[in-house]
């Protein structure tokens, strides 16, 4: 007997609704849910492979605990006993900062990852927090923090209404979009062209997205901040600045004009390898479009001037009056956002409130650079304790972060490590305890994070499509028990964690004069919450206190969990709307166009005008059927063009003596790897491209299929020292490499590391 169940896909930021076919407790099929209010039936090959991802036989069936050096099957009780016994003594002896926490990407795709890490961090009180954000979008958080006073106030391009989209270092035809949640991004780009709009793509590779564009600019990697600065210069120079309705909310225009005076189109042309006329045309097109949105992603963030580039993206949106207007770039308002407060000055955004111990990197948004994790473990200083224990949740930094070999050794030296991960992989193999979450079909789903970045307001929630299998523990409970174990409450009822959060949240809300529940009794409100378990009650709480919520009766037709459950395909809440000045939290209460830390970083950008570019640099790429480091174990998602090859332009291939298919050795500051060359005009000359997430050849993992075609770890080419200084974000794109052909028939050289 088969049945169907709804489940939002957790495999990328597009959040497509899936209709699953379930036979017994097994998911046997997945198609796009045509009635989903947001995705309307779209799905990509990854979504179609949901059953295979969900049913991968290599997923761990229960916890593992290290005994006599070996990871062995154990009961949940034994596993949490081991966690408490491993972590508490480190906290007690060395203080909370000696416990590191690493949060990887899938945390933004799970209910557990949204609800429990904040509680864990508050309970533990550690400053040793490292997340995938510093391999990704931290520059955008920092630029938003500085411009708007809120690191999470990230403007999203109004894809469905804009007349002109300038897309920088993003390839949504493969990635399906990021920091811009839009199911069927490809279809939305085609619709933009069909309604007469224009698409410009800036990317050193001729990507599938670039092929769709009206104009493709093959910039030299790492030079976007220069290009964007020159575009802003042109807007000032040619009197094209039109703040429009933004004018009363913006300060620092004259200072900005002065700060960008040196960045002329002629001045940046050589460094960008983009001629001055093109720079001018890009600026004029942006200014002339009735509405336009500038949007930058991985290629604009994971570079030495990532924060400046991210800042300039919004500067261009502001100078052309496109910020906060339909068709431009707007601030979404998610259903679980906090009760909106009235506009007015805020506390602003502080950077560098503390520093990493070894290289003195400033914290950003409470995080230290993931690039510095290995040294924070393996290097003693007089400053304080090294990290001696680690909690890794949905994180595979051995492959995802720079210099995995060093991190590998560092992890091995820890007194204790726990991984919450479904796989025994390159990182979790170092753990003393592995706590596997159930497959996604057995987990509830709500997009806490991505709804704050979505191109349309909507809200959807799925209960687990399949009941929790015997012996499984929900990831929410795993995380709640982890919180108890590190805070010395091992053995207490995990529901207490949720009850505490609910009580604290309501306690604050009733004191807040702007809250719909101001002055009410928190106990009475807590008793009114519905939901089958703690996580559901917390969702109900957030929905009811949120911008569309019922305010516990204050707005009787407002949103509650019960109402959401009546709409299994979701509730549409309308298009993005102008919100300024309400989201601003700067000290001035305005958009601060030229914040001091940005101004202080501009001289470094000026130096880049005259620096001589490296002969050969490497950039990454994503494949439609990939997902960072963890989907190479699913046969349906591997093979074909999804291979770990080095793309080389024919001119470079000729110069280097490299033939198509030949193994080549790639050398970087952190080491070397050998991969087959793929000679293609899809990369510009002077640039080679190797995808990330590969290198599944380390012993002690349980990734049967992935290890048959392991590929190489591109991040081994990095030594962790290249960062964007303001955000601590790793430089993963545009770094110098050397490439030499390997004499063929030397099989032993297939993967070499120094
Ligand atoms: N060179 C280079 N390196 C990069 C990038 C690049 O472009 N180039 N991209 C960077 C970016 S943007 C990111 S976000 C990072 C991502 O890197 P990571 O943060 O390491 O994330 P993933 O590789 O997606 O998955 C991490 C782990 O999550 C586990 N996992 C999967 N589902 C679940 C779940 O439901 N619960 C739990 N607890 N665990 C789960 C997987 O088994 C895997 O071990 O990589 C970065 N690294
Ligand atoms: N299929 C698939 N989808 C994914 C993922 C995946 O691994 N596979 N990962 C998910 C994650 S974690 C994220 S963060 C998103 C990322 O989403 P995107 O940012 O859209 O993904 P990328 O494919 O990395 O696109 C980055 C582009 O930047 C270009 N680039 C590199 N350096 C530069 C530069 O200096 N300047 C400019 N202008 N361009 C440059 C690269 O050539 C590449 O085409 O994708 C998500 N979706
Ligand atoms: S686009 Fe993303 S969310 Fe949609 S089906 Fe594909 S992987 Fe899943
Ligand atoms: Mo990412």
Q: Is a pLDDT exceeding 70 seen at residue 751?
A: no
Contact call for residues 429 and 700 (beta carbons, < 8 A)? yes
Cβ neighbourhood burial of 748 (10 Å; 0-12, 13-18, 19+): exposed
Domains of the chain, each with CATH number or no CATH: 2-54 (3.30.200.210), 64-126+352-445+461-492 (3.40.50.740), 138-336+581-606 (3.40.228.10), 494-569 (no CATH), 614-754 (2.40.40.20)
Query: What does the mean pLDDT of the chain come to?
Result: 97
Question: How far is ligand 1, taken at its centre, from the CA of residue 686, in Å?
Answer: 29
Closest CA to ligand 2's atom 4? 175
Would the CB of 637 count as within 6 Å of ligand 3?
no
Over range 512-529, report the average pLDDT. Answer: 97
- Please state the rounded mean pLDDT for residues 56-68: 98
Rounded CA separation 414/376 (Å): 11
Q: Which of 152, 169, 174, 138 lies closest to 12, judged by CA?
A: 174
Q: Which amino acid residue places its CA nearest to atom 44 of ligand 2?
A: 171
* Owner of token pair 């990852």: 113
pLDDT digits 0-9 by tens, 207-218 = 999 999 999 999
- Please give the pLDDT value at position 385: 86
C-alpha distances (whole Å) from 32 to each of 26, 39, 44, 46, 48 are 18, 8, 9, 11, 8
Q: Cα torsion at 708, 712, 713, 717 (round to 10°)?
A: 170
Instruction: Return the biggest CA–CA distance within the chain.
Output: 78
> β-strand 215-217 against 198-202: which pairing, if any?
parallel
Residues 6+ apart with CB under 8 A from 422: 59, 60, 436, 437, 439
Give residue-wise pLDDT tens across range 27-42: 999 999 999 999 999 9
CA 549 to chain centre: 27
**pLDDT of 754 higher than 50:** no
Ligand 3 atom closest to 14 (CA) = 3
Ligand 2 neighbourhood includes 726 CB (under 6 angstroms):
no
Cβ–ligand 2 contact at 131 (below 6 Å): no
Six token digits for residue 115: 């609800």
Work out whether the CA dihedral 19, 23, 27, 28 comes out positive or negative.
negative
What is the mean pLDDT of the segment spanning 89-111? 97
Residues, the chain: 754
The residue contributing the CA closest to ligand 2 atom 30 is 299
Residue 749: the pLDDT is: 46
Ligand nearest to the CA of 44: 3
- Closest listed residue to residue 266, CA positions, set 280, 278, 276, 277: 276
pLDDT digits (tens, 9 = 90+) for 188-200: 999 999 999 999 9
* Burial bucket for residue 566 (CB in 10 Å: 0-12, 13-18, 19+): exposed
Q: Which of 278, 273, 231 is nearest to 256 (CA)?
A: 231
Q: Whose CA is nearest to atom 13 of ligand 2?
A: 178
CB atoms within 10 A of CB 649: 21
Does ligand 1 lie within 6 Å of residue 371's CB atom? no
pLDDT of residue 1: 83
Cα of 442 from ligand 1 centre, angstroms: 20
Element (H, E) at 295: strand 293-296
Question: How far does the centroid of ligand 1 lie from the alpha carbon of residue 130, in Å?
Answer: 13
8 Å CB contact between 84 and 418:
no
- pLDDT at position 744 is 65
pLDDT tens digit sequence for 711-750 = 999 999 999 999 999 999 999 999 999 999 998 654 444 4
- What would the mean pLDDT of 355-382 be, rounded to a whole number? 97
pLDDT value at 661 more than 50: yes
Residue 43, ligand 3, Cβ within 6 A:
yes
Residue 752's pLDDT is 43
Q: In what order do the strands lie in the sheet with 2-8?
A: 2-8, 17-23, 26-32
Q: Which residues contact 421 (CB under 8 A, 6 or more apart)?
A: 60, 392, 393, 394, 395, 396, 427, 428, 434, 435, 436, 437
Judged by its nearest atom, the ligand closest to the C-alpha of residue 625 is 2
Instruction: Give the distance (Å) from ligand 4 centre to CA of residue 626.
Output: 12
Out of 113, 130, 132, 482, mutate this one to test ligand 1's pocket (max ligand atoms within 8 Å of CB): namely: 132
Beta bridge partners of 740: 665
User: Taking 90 as the threshold, does the pLDDT of residue 340 lie above it?
Assistant: no
**Looking at the predicted structure, is the pLDDT value of residue 334 above 50?**
yes
Which ligand is located closest to the Cα atom of residue 18?
A: 3
pLDDT of the residue at 339: 84
Mean predicted confidence (pLDDT) in 150-156: 98
Regarding the beta carbon of 314 and ligand 2, being less than 6 Å apart is answered no
Question: Which one of the ligands is nearest to 395 CA?
Answer: 1
Query: Counting atoms of ligand 2 from 1, which one is nearest the CA of 44?
Result: 1
Distance of CA 88 to the CA centre of its chain: 30
Closest-CA residue, ligand 1 atom 30, reads 394
Q: What is the pLDDT of residue 745?
A: 58
Smallest-distance ligand from the CA of 177: 2
Output the residue whose Cα is nearest ligand 1's atom 10: 135
Distance 717 CA to ligand 4 centre (A): 19
**CA of 692, closest atom in ligand 2:** 7
Question: Is 133 close to ligand 2, i.e. is its CB under 6 Å away?
Answer: no
Cβ(162) to ligand 1 under 6 A? no
Q: State the distance from the centre of ligand 3 to the C-alpha of 209, rounded, in angstroms.
A: 17
Atom of ligand 3 nearest to the CA of 45: 6
Q: How far is CA 308 from CA 11, 218, 220, 575, in A?
A: 30, 20, 16, 29
Among 83, 163, 57, residue whose Cα is nearest residue 482: 83
404 pocket-lining for ligand 1 (C-beta < 6 Å): no
DSSP three-state, residue 416 = strand
Residues 107-136 have pLDDT tens digits of: 999 999 999 999 999 999 999 999 999 999
Output the six-digit token pair for 611.
Answer: 């620096």
Give the pLDDT band (50/70/90) at residue 240: very high
- Cβ–ligand 3 distance for 46 under 6 Å, the answer yes
User: What residues are neighbours of ligand 4 (ion), with CB under 5 Å?
Assistant: 136
Our answer on whether the CB atom of 170 is closer than 6 Å to any ligand 2 atom is yes
Residue 308 has pLDDT above 90, yes or no: yes
Closest CA to 645 of 628, 624, 630, 623: 623
Closest-approaching ligand to the CA atom of 683: 2
The pick from 7, 106, 689 for probing ligand 1's pocket by mutation, whose C-beta has the most ligand atoms within 8 angstroms, reads: 106
682 three-class SS: coil
Nearest CA to ligand 2 atom 15: 178
Among 15, 186, 199, 298, which is best to mutate for testing ligand 2, by the most ligand atoms less than 8 A from CB?
298
DSSP H helical segments within 2-75, as ranges?
Answer: 45-48, 50-54
Mean pLDDT of all residues in 245-261: 98
Which ligand lies nearest the alpha carbon of 299? Answer: 2
Q: What confidence tier does 293 reach under pLDDT thresholds 50, 70, 90? A: very high
Tell me which residue has its CA closest to atom 25 in ligand 2. Answer: 170
Distant-in-sequence, close-in-space partners of 91: CB < 8 Å, separation ≥ 6: 98, 99, 124, 486
Tell me if 9 CB under 6 Å of ligand 3.
yes
- Calculate how far, in angstroms, residue 517's C-alpha sits from the geometric centre of ligand 3: 38
- Tens of pLDDT, residue by residue over 422-434, are 999 999 999 999 9
Nearest CA owner, ligand 3 atom 4: 16
Is the shortest distance between the CB of 12 and ligand 2 below 6 Å?
Answer: yes
The residue behind tokens 């000055």 is: 345
Closest ligand 1 atom, residue 426 Cα? 44
Q: Is 44 in the pocket of ligand 3 (CB under 6 A)?
A: yes
Query: 514 C-alpha vs ligand 1 centroid, how far in Å?
Result: 38
* Interval 652-681 mean pLDDT: 98
Instruction: Give 462's Cβ-side CA count (13 Å radius).
Output: 29
- Whether 218 lines ligand 2, by a CB cut-off of 6 Å, is no
Residue located nearest, by CA, to atom 23 of ligand 1: 629
> What is the Å distance from ligand 4's center to 697 Cα?
23
């Amino acid at each position: 007997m088969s049945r169907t169940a709804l489940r939002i896909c957790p495999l990328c930021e597009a959040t497509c609704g899936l209709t699953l076919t379930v036979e017994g407790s097994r998911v046997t099929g997945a198609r796009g849910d045509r009635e989903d209010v947001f995705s309307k039936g779209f799905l990509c090959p990854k979504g179609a492979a949901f059953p295979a991802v969900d049913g991968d036989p290599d997923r761990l069936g229960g916890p593992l605990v290290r005994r006599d050096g070996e990871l062995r099957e154990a009961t949940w009780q034994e596993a949490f006993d081991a966690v408490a016994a491993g972590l508490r003594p480190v906290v007690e002896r060395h203080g909370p900062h000696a416990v590191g926490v690493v949060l990887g990407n899938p945390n933004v795709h799970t209910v557990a990852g949204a609800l429990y890490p904040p509680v864990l961090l508050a309970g533990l009180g550690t400053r040793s927090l490292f997340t995938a954000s510093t391999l990704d979008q931290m520059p955008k958080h920092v630029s938003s923090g500085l411009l708007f006073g809120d690191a999470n106030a990230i403007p999203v391009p109004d894809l469905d209404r804009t007349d002109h989209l300038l897309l920088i270092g993003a390839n949504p035809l493969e990635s399906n979009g990021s920091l811009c949640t839009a199911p069927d991004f490809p279809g939305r780009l085609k619709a933009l062209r069909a309604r007469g709009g224009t698409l410009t793509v800036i990317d050193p590779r001729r990507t599938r997205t670039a092929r769709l564009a009206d104009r493709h600019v093959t910039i030299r990697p790492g030079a976007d901040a220069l290009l964007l600065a020159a575009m802003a210069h042109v807007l000032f120079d040619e009197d094209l600045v039109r703040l429009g309705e933004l004018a009363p909310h913006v300060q620092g225009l004259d200072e900005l004009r002065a700060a960008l005076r040196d960045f002329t189109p002629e001045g940046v042309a050589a460094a960008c390898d983009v001629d001055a006329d093109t720079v001018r045309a890009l600026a004029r097109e942006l200014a002339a479009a009735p509405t336009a949105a500038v949007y930058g992603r991985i290629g604009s963030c994971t570079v030495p001037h990532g924060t400046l580039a991210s800042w300039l993206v919004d500067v261009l949106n502001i100078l052309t009056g496109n910020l906060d207007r339909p068709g431009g770039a707007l601030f979404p308002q998610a259903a679980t956002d906090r009760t909106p407060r009235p506009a007015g000055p805020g506390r602003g955004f502080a950077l560098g409130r503390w520093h990493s111990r070894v290289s003195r990197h400033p914290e950003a948004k409470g995080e230290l650079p993931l690039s510095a994790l290995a040294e924070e473990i393996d290097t003693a200083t007089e400053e304080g304790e090294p990290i001696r224990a680690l909690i890794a949740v949905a994180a595979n930094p051995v492959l995802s972060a720079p210099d995995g070999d060093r991190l590998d050794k560092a992890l091995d030296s820890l007194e204790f490590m726990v991984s919450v991960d479904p796989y025994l992989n390159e990182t979790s193999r170092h753990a003393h305890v592995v706590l596997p979450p159930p497959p996604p079909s057995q987990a509830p789903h709500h997009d806490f994070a991505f709804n704050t970045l979505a191109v349309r307001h909507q809200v959807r929630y799925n209960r687990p499509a399949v009941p929790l299998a015997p012996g499984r523990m929900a990831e929410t409970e795993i995380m709640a028990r982890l919180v108890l174990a590190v805070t010395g409450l091992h053995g207490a009822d995990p529901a207490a964690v949720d009850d505490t959060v609910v009580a604290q949240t309501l306690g604050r809300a009733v004191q807040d004069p702007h809250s719909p529940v101001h002055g009410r009794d928190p106990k009475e409100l807590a008793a009114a919450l519905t939901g089958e378990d703690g996580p559901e009650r917390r969702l109900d709480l957030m929905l009811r206190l949120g911008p569309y919520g019922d305010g516990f009766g204050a707005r009787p037709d407002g949103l509650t969990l019960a109402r959401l459950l009546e709409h299994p395909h979701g509730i549409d809440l309308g298009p993005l709307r102008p919100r300024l000045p309400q989201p601003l939290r700067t000290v001035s209460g305005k958009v601060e166009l030229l914040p001091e830390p940005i101004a202080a970083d501009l001289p470094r950008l000026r130096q880049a005008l005259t620096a001589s570019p490296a002969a050969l640099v490497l950039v990454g790429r994503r494949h439609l059927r990939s997902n960072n480091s963890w989907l190479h174990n699913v046969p349906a998602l591997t093979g074909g063009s999804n291979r770990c090859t080095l793309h080389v332009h024919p001119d470079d291939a000729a110069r280097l003596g490299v033939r198509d298919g030949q193994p080549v050795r790639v050398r970087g500051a952190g080491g070397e790897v050998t991969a087959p060359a793929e000679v293609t005009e899809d990369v510009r000359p002077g640039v080679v491209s190797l995808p990330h997430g590969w290198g599944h050849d380390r012993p002690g993992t349980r990734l049967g299929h992935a290890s048959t075609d392991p590929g190489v770890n591109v991040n081994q080419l990095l030594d962790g020292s290249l960062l964007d200084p303001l955000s601590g974000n790793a430089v993963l794109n545009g770094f110098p490499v050397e490439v030499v052909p390997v004499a063929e028939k030397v099989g032993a050289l297939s993967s070499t590391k120094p």
